[in-house]
Amino acid sequence: MPKYLYEFPIGKIWTEEKNGKIISLGCEEHQLTEEETKETPLIKETKKQLDEYFAEKRKVFDLPIELRGTEFQKSVWKIMQGIPYGKTMTYGEIGQRLNTKGYQAVGMACKNNHLMIVVPCHRVIGQKGKLTGFFGGLDMKARLLDLENNHDYSKEKR
């Protein structure tokens, strides 16, 4: 599976492609072997769209992606994809849309999202605007929200 690591304003993000779809965008430390590293046309397009996002010129991504998870997780991710740029939803609001009180399950679905930014789990926040859980760390979540909202989330209570 082709993978590639790029440097962006928030840090390094690697992307992985399989069968013509992006299956993973991640920020955790990831050592890529020379055999794994391949910059395909789709991976280049992903970088282009992320560059546009960080330049505040793109608000919606138009990439072929594959959501890998349970049906519940996929339903959470579909709702997250519908959260507009510059807006947020709480874990509870997503749970209400799914007719479940299992807000922790919503949080776990966010945690297991392998397509950060494109499936915008950073737009999901706790009650009263509290920033909670993000696999890239709360500082990265705050920076993404700051970019989209022109609001200094880095000063929010955590």
The catalytic residue positions are 121
DSSP state, residue 71: H
- The HSE-up count of residue 92 (CA atoms within 13 Å, CB side) is 5
Q: Report the C-alpha gap between 11 and 3 in whole angstroms.
A: 17
Q: Report the C-alpha gap between 40 and 28 in whole angstroms.
A: 21
Phi and psi at residue 18, to the nearest 5°: -150, 130
Instruction: Select from 104, 100, 93 the least CA-distant residue to 133.
Output: 104
Q: Give the distance, in angstroms, between the CA of residue 127 and the centroid of all CA atoms in the same chain.
A: 20
Q: Report the C-alpha gap between 60 and 58 in whole angstroms.
A: 6
